Amino acid sequence: MASGKPVVGGGDVHMMFHQLSQEALKITAEINGKYHTPEQLHDLLEQLWGREVPKTVGMFPPFHTDCGKNTIVGGVPAKVIKKIEKTDS
Q: List own/partner pairs for 75-78 with CB under 8 A and 24 or more apart.
A: 77/51, 78/51, 78/52, 78/53, 78/54
Burial letters 18-51, b for 16+ CB under 10 A, else e? eebeebbeebbebbeeeeeeeeebbebbbbbbbb
pTM exceeds cut of 0.85: no
How do the pLDDT tens digits run along the chain, 89 residues long?
566 778 788 888 888 888 888 999 999 999 999 999 999 999 999 999 888 888 888 888 898 887 777 777 766 554 544 444 445 44
- Residue 70 neighbours by CB under 8 Å, 6+ apart: 1, 2
